[in-house]
Structure 1
């Protein structure tokens, strides 16, 4: 047996599927506009259905729609004939996938979908198929050749289906003005959700955990506060509680370089004034951006009177999953 040329096979597959995507782009027409209008004005849900490989792609399309502002879920056409058709209402839009447009399980439920007056959109490779002709909008995804060398396994055709589904989802996303924050609300458990929803007040140290010393405090006592609170810094405040400055590990290194008396020097002489502060409602992702741009490792959170109410450092952002 000769050694198979895996790279040549991979390149051929990618080329064929790329061509398939280019082909469906050329077939975009008023049917795509009609499909978008139906889905955009849908009062219920977009119900996606399909059998076999088309069903797997349909599941992904439904998930993409749901996460980008178009409420959607997948219904298996075989199960629909045995009770799941009750999930579909006249307020919904049905998006059916079938490469041939003649898939028996899908065609079987067409009369029932028509009877409940739910608009039907189809994605097929046959404009004259039963499914296409029954649709209010038909999206053509015909491909000349599957990537499979036998031209049998659904490969290029399923890629075309998926790309058409993505095109619908993104067109609707843009039409709705769907924002990054909206996306985050659909993904609160993911890293994007944490970056777009998590605020400083959620992860900051507060109360007695905030390192604070009064103006005039000897440097040795300030160092003890830094050590106790384990944030690598301490805030320095005036008598009324307003922030005067910050003392960090960097300030300590500079003090050591200058042979400063660690026992008796007042903290005011070695602290950094005009330090960077944030408000509690700032996004944690913005905290990271501030730290990166200013080359600092910690931030003090202040209230409207410029009094310290919290503190956080790079480790807190790392622990919260923002980094």
Structure 2
């Protein structure tokens, strides 16, 4: 459990959980679609008064929505039809109608941005190193994977394993990738180029090279990778499914399945502490909260 002082330091993050932006985004989307607005900017110009929706009060909707304007931009497709950019299907793998598909895409991107900020506000005060260390002795996992982009690998002064064999493999595949006759997860911490992209592999009892063991803080916190900015609460509105990708006018459209869930990692101290608040956030966003243990 968090100390009273830590809980107080989490106050700004909790305030964001109590007032999710997605209900306001959806209301704005409906107002745009049913009103005489040429674009979303025209709508925002009219949102000068406080708004209440879904049991949440928004004092200044225009300012609150402004940072999410680009994430909301797909709503404009309904008034200005364009070529499809992706395929979105429901849980039964049936094509979603256009509004549902756009709402799912907008929701995923809005939630991703908002939860990145909320996670950062909640994570710092906890001084938790869960995301930065490999499995403990006796844990079920042999390693912990931290996906990174190609632009981010230069942040880590680690050996890079980039071979034809690694590019054909994936971390969870059996038999595991071997390096000098030893499974990769029994090697020292390193960066691996898999067929899905790059990731840092933390074997048992290892830690990220940027974790300061004395303070429990990150030495590159302002420049940390994207995945580190979305620690333990993240949206599962859509799930990527490459098997459903389809050709369209000589283009391959990526496919996604609607899930409508919010995932929270139960190992995390602030997830345990604020389970009720996270559940309320999910409910107000129309999502099913799923609390899942990551490191067993």
* TM interval, short-chain normalised: under 0.3
Which structure's relative contact order is higher, taking Cα pairs within 8 Å and 6+ residues apart?
A: 2
Q: Which has the higher strand share?
A: 2
TM-score by length of 2: 0.24
TM-score, reference length from structure 1: 0.23
Instruction: Identify, as 1 or 2, the structure richer in helix.
Output: 1
In terms of Rg, which structure is larger?
Answer: 1
